[in-house]
Amino acid sequence: MLSLLLAAGGAAISAWADEVPDFEREARIVEQVEPYLFEGEPLWLEGGGREFLAVHIEVEEADGTVILLHGRDVHLDEEELIGPLRTGLAERGWATLSLQMPVLAKGKTYYDYLPILGYAHPRIEAAIDYLESRGVSRIILAAHSCGVHMANDWMNSVAEPRIDGYIAMGLGVTDVGQDLKTPFPIGRLSVPVLDIYGTGEYPRPLAMVPHRQELLRQNGNPLSAQVPVEGATHFFRGYGDVMIGKLADWLDGFSR
């Protein structure tokens, strides 16, 4: 196992200083997952003064690297979406770097996660630092579910995110009775944005589709797009291959 210590450089920690992720649960998750990472190289990066697990699949003459952020109550190689994407995109010419994100106890809600979203900031920054140190010139951030909230919170905290594109999967989902508190940054970004969602998504995120279309118009990048996945739910269960194809097809636009 390769251990790499990379400072995250000035990323903000959540304003709720007394709220912290469940690092013990994260350690248990990592112990269960790391031995079974058969594809890619496990790395230990440092962000926010703590080491965290990542897994990197390098591709010769890659078009770029996709940083993957998983959702709530899963991990950096979960079998329905992030696991298939990190290997499938590599087969389509894109290197991948999947990050273990901060977690809470199982069953916590969106509101519970709000105070710890900032703990994701230094992890994202550390991943970008790592890739830039290796000469990667095109970095795409791709996030699912709670990972989208973490990505959005990070982008809302910086003037110019150091990424070349953003993929949001399941954008805007919250728990029942909980209002969205994490603003969408996509309208102010200058980089291309892919807003991809299942037609079987939860009702409130589906109701936000027209608003997100308007934000993409404000974004104005010709590569920005909103793509529905017919029949898929928020979790994209059973749609791993479909998602690989749709993300890879959109990513191919960077090299056209």
| Mean pLDDT along residues 115-144 | 97
**Each residue's pLDDT tens digit, 32-75:** 999 999 999 999 999 999 999 999 999 999 999 999 999 999 99
> 18 falls in which pLDDT band (50, 70, 90)?
low
Q: Is 179 exposed, middle or buried (0-12, 13-18, 19+ CB in 10 A)?
A: exposed
Residue 8 is predicted with a pLDDT of 37
In the chain, % of residues over pLDDT 90: 91
Which segments of the chain does DSSP mark as H helices, in order?
A: 23-33, 82-91, 110-113, 121-133, 146-156, 203-207, 209-219, 240-251
| Mean pLDDT along residues 223-228 | 98
| Mean pLDDT along residues 4-26 | 59
51-85 b/e (C-beta count within 10 Å ≥ 16 → b)? bbbbbbbebeebbbbbbbbbbbebbbbbebbbbbb
**Residue whose tokens read 């894109």:** 94
Please give the model's pTM, rounded to 2 decimal places. Answer: 0.93
**Residue whose tokens read 């996509």:** 186
Residue 163 is predicted with a pLDDT of 98
Gap between the Cα atoms of 181 and 174, Å rounded: 9
